[in-house]
Amino acid sequence: MKKIIISICLIFACLLGVGCGEGSSQSSSHRFALVPQKQATCAQKGNVEHYKCLDCGKLFDLNKKQITSVETDICLDNHESEVYLAVKTQPQKLLYSAGESFDTNGLEIVKKCDSCNGKIVDNGLIAFSYQNQGANCFSQADTKIIATVDGLTIDITISLTAVYTVTFDTQGGTQIAPVSVADGGKLPLIETPEKSNENGEYEFVCWLYNGEEWDVETDVVREDMTLVAKWKVVSSYTPPYVPND
């Protein structure tokens, strides 16, 4: 009777096969379920199409060969929500005066969505323009630079230094045109005025501001201002006396 029971058990084992939980390497011992491919996003990993055993949970490729992983890496180009641009690091230079060109050194712009931190965009792929349309450098009206990539835009705030006008009172000498100087800047090299009249010849000494000598090497412009010429007489001429008849 004991032998009969053992025989019956062996027969059932042959009919049912060895269970996958018992370490069988035969694919026929697993109950396969096809798992479809899932695209990775900017925030979540995906997976390749594969099989999974319903009993032991092991993973298999499409040829039903056992594998250890089916994950695919996060794809920063596949965003889960609306995409926009953001500044990751500011450019090293944010303070400009009129006439300067924008410096992208240090600037990092990312294309991102609300689900991810984004992917850095190569600055060579970004179109930069000035707020003052048509300009190729900053004007006194500019307060931002506009970055555009793939139809997306972002404004980068900049600061313009104040620009002041320096005028010259030559006190009868040759006229000097006004110049514009950025706040904190030095007076540019200008032509030395000349002066002569019926009273004699004069030599230019210096420029005065509020009665004090202006040092063109060290003094800086902080406001609209007028510099006044100081002269020294080098020769004088006295008209001859003509008595009245």
Decide if pLDDT at 92 tops 50: yes
Decide if pLDDT at 199 tops 90: no
Token duo for residue 118: 């984004």
Decide if pLDDT at 241 tops 90: no
Longest dimension (CA), the chain: 172
The pLDDT-based confidence of 107 (bands split at 50, 70, 90) is: very high
The pLDDT-based confidence of 13 (bands split at 50, 70, 90) is: very low
Average pLDDT, the chain: 87
Decide if pLDDT at 204 tops 50: yes
The pLDDT-based confidence of 242 (bands split at 50, 70, 90) is: low
Asked whether 115 and 42 are in contact (CB, 8 A), the reply is yes
Asked whether 136 and 101 are in contact (CB, 8 A), the reply is yes
pLDDT tens readout for residues 118-175: 999 999 999 999 998 888 899 888 999 999 999 999 999 998 888 889 999 999 999 9
Residue environment code for 188-213, b if the CB has 16+ CB neighbours within 10 A, otherwise e? eeeeebebeeeeeebebeebbeeeee
Of the listed ranges 24-33, 94-103, 177-186, 194-203, the least confidently predicted one is 24-33
pLDDT tens readout for residues 37-63: 999 999 999 999 999 999 999 999 999
Tell me the whole-structure pTM to 2 decimals. 0.56
Domains of the chain: 28-78 (no CATH), 84-160 (2.60.40.3630), 163-236 (2.60.40.4270)
Question: Is the model more confident about 132 or about 21?
Answer: 132
The pLDDT-based confidence of 15 (bands split at 50, 70, 90) is: very low
What pLDDT is recorded for position 82? Answer: 95
Decide if pLDDT at 198 tops 90: no
DSSP 8-state code for residue 220: B
The pLDDT-based confidence of 22 (bands split at 50, 70, 90) is: very low
- CA–centroid distance for 214 within its chain: 40
What pLDDT is recorded for position 19? Answer: 58
pLDDT over 70 for what percent of the chain? 85
What pLDDT is recorded for position 16? Answer: 46
Q: How far apart are CA 66 and CA 46, in angstroms?
A: 19
